[in-house]
Amino acid sequence: MRENPLEQARLLFIRRWGEMAASWGISRTMAEIHALLYLAPEPLCTDDVMEQLEVSRGSASTNLRQLENWALVFRIHRRNDRKEYFEAETDVWQMFEIIIRERRRREVQPIVETIERCLTLVEDGRGKSGAGGPADVDAFKKRFTEIRDFTEAMNGVFNLVSKAGRLGLKPLAKQLARLAR
């Protein structure tokens, strides 16, 4: 029997959300669980997640815990029910802010710190034997500075988007589109 259009849309979204996240370095299963809970009209228990996505209890539990740590999923307790239920944050703007904040904390900030450390090493090594000639030092410094400046600019863009908020997003996007012409 053919699935109804709502079920087809639900399954397609879950699959694509997982594929997209996997290309960003996030566990496919974690993203699929997030998508499943995002679309669920009611909170789901771990057994529901396991059954609908065909994942093991360990995988479901680990990924649900990670989603809770990101504050993208919340644990719900039902009276007179020993099972734990989960629901996803459904405010898209809130999800965006959480994901950006976590990605910056986990990925961007460490690379910025590494770049700063590299610049310090290059400067500390200037003129020391084995550090390369002045041209090598200047080339390293230039590249580290360029990537640091780019990273800082992108952080600035994300800060502006965040400050603009959900109501300012469309006007900000229009302004950026005008600049791109």
Q: Where are the domains of the chain?
A: 5-88, 92-180
Q: What percent of the chain has pLDDT over 90?
A: 57
At 86, is the pLDDT very low, low, confident or very high (cuts 50, 70, 90)? Answer: very high
pLDDT higher at 8 or 126: 8
Looking at residue 56, its pLDDT comes to: 97
CATH number for region 5-88: 1.10.10.10
Q: Indicate the average pLDDT of the chain.
A: 90
Q: What percent of the chain has pLDDT over 70?
A: 96
Looking at residue 64, its pLDDT comes to: 97
Looking at residue 14, its pLDDT comes to: 96
Query: Which region, left, alpha or beta, applies to residue 52 given φ > 0 means left and ψ of -120 to 50 means alpha?
Result: alpha
Residue 5 CB coordination number (10 Å): 8
- Which residue in the block uniquely carries the two structure tokens 């997982």? 18
At 16, is the pLDDT very low, low, confident or very high (cuts 50, 70, 90)? Answer: very high
Q: What is the mean pLDDT of residues 81-91?
A: 94
Say what the pTM is: 0.77
pLDDT higher at 156 or 75: 75
How do residues 97-145 score in pLDDT, each as one tens digit?
888 888 888 888 899 999 999 999 988 877 676 667 788 888 989 999 9
Looking at residue 126, its pLDDT comes to: 73
